[in-house]
Structure 1
Amino acid sequence: MRQAVSVTVLGHFAAAFAALCMPPFYAHILQQNFSGQSLLMAGWYFTLPTLAAAIANPLWGKLADRIGIRASLIRAHWGLCLSFILTGLARTPWEFAAGLCLQGLLGGTFAASNAFLASFLQGKKLASLLSVMQGSARTALFAGPAIIGLFGAQENLLRIFLYLALLPGLAGVLLYFLPEPASTVPANKPESAASGNAVAGISAATLYRFQAVFTIGTVLTYPYFVIDLAERLHLSAGWAGALFGLPHVLFLLLAWPMNRHIQLQNAQTALARCSALTCAGLLMQGLAQGAGLLAAGRILMGIGMTGAYLAINALAAGTTRHSSAGRHFGNLEGANKWGAVFAGILASTLASTFNYTAPVWLACLLLAGLTIFIESKRL
């Protein structure tokens, strides 16, 4: 089982590294390879894989419960490998867009990896590993663009997709040759008890809604963060980039110690309070007139985001049914992706209608509403 867990986590890191390191360079790729393509379209290219994944993940999750979780995870890695190859071979903007769509349609390694882990782990162990998986993705989010950026001047970045295809391809091969891990979920245990719904206190459908709202509330602030700070606080792109990454660094630093204090029994309370902390951090950022208050807001937001994601992981583990783990994590990741898509649309609309800070205020309202809703249901 340790081998299976190690290969699953490392395989997801490889896939996440490959998928997350390239989006910041889409504008550069368009300029290098498709000179007639407007750089303003880079934002649309950024959305394509997310939208495709939002549609595909729940469908792949349902199929996983039929064909087997391990087979589905191998499929996700090899699907991502194929899509990277096709993207790297693109000769026109339309082929590039098609390759990005295929990354979302054929991938889904995060949901498939989580479902695979849920097939032989449960409860606190599963929740802890789900947090490790999120840490893996955030590490890839930082390391990937930094490493790829070193090749920007020497290499055609579009061709780097061909090299990146090796990572999920190799992960799929390793998983193929690993033996099927033995399930530790008691076979004679009733499905409702095994799912932990009584402990978690909420249904899976409610958790999906919580995930979507929290994602919208945080991702709303991403698209215009750098330009907002440049216009409102006159900060350089370098400082804005560092402040943007601060909450994600805090996740890597705080997830392990905080995870010990968030259990299934207190996960809803933790989600409500950490959503409130995230809201307070965003409020400070919206009101900030200098870098000091803004940095404090980012720190508070990082603490809140970390606790909220850990609580969602605990609730995800508590609402998992062994027989439908693929569908469960496919739907959960689908909710996350749809939240990101809607956040991008809302942010663009608000920024063009009002100003670059407007998405922050809507994010505050959504997270405050989520806190009030959870607390009202607990009373």
Structure 2
Amino acid sequence: MTKLIYCVLLCHFIAAFSALGMPLFLPMVLPTLGAHIDANWAGALFILPTFCTALAARFWGQFADKYGRRRSLLRAQLGLAAGFALCGLADNLAMFVFGLIIQGTFGGTMAASNSYLSSQIKDAKTLGASLNKTQLSARLALIIAPIGLGWSLSETSPLSAYLWLSVLPLIAMAITLTLPADTTARPNAQGQEKGRRQDNKSASLRSLYWVFVAQFCFAFAMVITFPYFSPFVQQFGVTNQAWVGFLYALPHGVYLVFTGKAQSFSEWLNHHHKLSTLLLGFGLLSLGTLMHLIPYQEVLIMARILFGLGMVCCYQGLHQALADQIDRQQSGKIFSRFDAMSKWGGVAAGLSASFISSLGWLEVLFLLSSLVSACTAIALLIHSKFGHRHVKHSIISN
């Protein structure tokens, strides 16, 4: 089982390296296509694959549950390869945009990887830890890919880099083909039993809606601070771009260091309250983003560390909540919706950041992130009280 988990994580890292690395260099790509478009359009192309992934998530989730999670993972890897190949072969803006649409619509390796893991891992604790590791592989790719690609783009054109990177998802496909296929549920011939099973599935999905909403709020609060971080810290006199890059990457580095050690801490924290890890995560995010407004570099470093610890706790809490409550027969649908909420949160955050920054209110980005995090923590507290009473009432009724 350990070998299978790390094979899936390797495949996810390989795919994420391509998907997360190149968007940073879009401003370098567009002039090579003869495209004379302003920065706002470059920002729109930046979120286009994410938008398409969110739109297609529901369909691919149903596809995974019906035809198999490994098959869906292979589909996502092939879609990513095809999208990158089209971008690399593009000689005009329209073809390049089409490649981005294919990449987003037929990609989605995060949801597909998590869904496949859930079909193979039956223990909730092990599954929760594995879901944290898929995020770890994404964060690792987010740190390594810009550095590696930044170095390689000095030797080759951006479009050629797209073409070379399309090979990486194909390598991931080859590894995935060696993994065991999962079994899909066979349809029941009895209509009454089938209807009962469908009702149970709907109830199971509804019980996770609070996790989906928390995921949306988490993605929004996290991503809204990303696009204009550099000009924001430059207001404090930070002009060294290497130092700006270090500060930007610091929360992801904190995630890499602490996520493997957070499992036992989370178990101890959740002993008295099931949502303690998640509440602590949103609290740390709220405090960390608020501390960004204090104009001292020492405080800024502390704020970035707190932001990273908030990410650790939020991911830990969200993934464990999914692992504890997930219905394995519809894991494709659940993980697709979970990933889609993350994508929708990112899209909403990107659009909000563009609008707010156009007014020159960069501080508002961090205030809004802090406010959303705090409101989410309060909403989760209210939900936990209401949910506990609802469960208690159901037990008494029965």
What residue in structure 2 maps to residue 281 of structure 1? 288
Q: What aligned pairs does 1:311-322 form with structure 2 within 5 A after superposition? A: 311-322=317-328
- Check the 8 A contact 1:30/1:39 in 2, yes or no: no
The one-letter code of the counterpart of 1:268 is L
Q: Deviations over 1:295-332 (max 9, x none)?
A: 11111111111111111110111221110000000000
Give the distance between the partners of 2:93 and 2:86, measured in 1 at CA. Answer: 13
3-state SS in 1 of match to 2:117: helix
Query: Where does structure 2 lack aligned partners over 5 or more consecutive residues?
Result: 185-195, 386-398
Give the distance between the partners of 2:344 and 2:274, measured in 1 at CA. Answer: 23
1:156 aligns with 2:157: yes
- Check the 8 A contact 2:49/2:103 in 1, yes or no: yes
1:365 aligns with 2:371: yes
TM score, norm. by length of structure 2: 0.87
1:299 aligns with 2:305: yes
- Check the 8 A contact 2:153/2:161 in 1, yes or no: no
3-state SS in 1 of match to 2:316: helix
Give the distance between the partners of 2:220 and 2:251, measured in 1 at CA. Answer: 16
Query: Where does structure 1 lack aligned partners over 5 or more consecutive residues?
Result: 184-189
- Mark the CA change 1:178 to 1:31 in structure 2 (over 3 Å): closer, same or farther: same
What residue in structure 2 maps to residue 139 of structure 1? 140
Give the distance between the partners of 1:368 and 1:228, measured in 2 at CA. Answer: 22
Give the distance between the partners of 1:35 and 1:161, measured in 2 at CA. Answer: 17
- Mark the CA change 1:35 to 1:55 in structure 2 (over 3 Å): closer, same or farther: closer
What residue in structure 2 maps to residue 166 of structure 1? 167
Q: 1:219 aligns with which of 223, 233, 245?
A: 223
Choose 129-138 or 144-153, whichever is displaced more. 144-153
1:269 aligns with 2:270: no
The one-letter code of the counterpart of 1:279 is S
3-state SS in 1 of match to 2:265: coil
- Check the 8 A contact 1:80/1:165 in 2, yes or no: yes
Q: 2:339 aligns with which of 330, 333, 336?
A: 333
Q: 1:251 aligns with which of 255, 263, 266?
A: 255
Q: Deviations over 1:17-37 (max 9, x none)?
A: 111110111101112342534
CA RMSD of aligned residues (A): 2.4
TM score, norm. by length of structure 1: 0.91
Give the distance between the partners of 1:298 and 1:21, measured in 2 at CA. Answer: 22
Give the distance between the partners of 1:293 and 1:176, measured in 2 at CA. Answer: 48
Give the distance between the partners of 1:304 and 1:167, measured in 2 at CA. Answer: 31
Q: What aligned pairs does 1:57-206 form with structure 2 within 5 A after superposition? A: 57-122=57-122, 123-180=124-181, 203-206=207-210
- Mark the CA change 1:51 to 1:300 in structure 2 (over 3 Å): closer, same or farther: same
Q: 2:361 aligns with which of 355, 358, 362?
A: 355
Offset, 1:7 = 2.1
The one-letter code of the counterpart of 2:133 is V
Give the distance between the partners of 1:32 and 1:240, measured in 2 at CA. Answer: 27
Q: Deviations over 1:260-295 (max 9, x none)?
A: 222476551211121011100111112x11211111
The one-letter code of the counterpart of 1:141 is L
3-state SS in 2 of match to 1:221: coil
Offset, 1:3 = 4.0
3-state SS in 2 of match to 1:179: coil
Choose 227-236 or 303-312, whichever is displaced more. 227-236
3-state SS in 2 of match to 1:119: helix
Give the distance between the partners of 2:381 and 2:46, measured in 1 at CA. Answer: 35
Q: Deviations over 1:84-138 (max 9, x none)?
A: 1111111111211111121110101110010000002130000000011100000
Q: Deviations over 1:238-276 (max 9, x none)?
A: 222211111110000000111222247655121112101
- Check the 8 A contact 1:268/1:311 in 2, yes or no: yes
- Mark the CA change 1:368 to 1:106 in structure 2 (over 3 Å): closer, same or farther: same
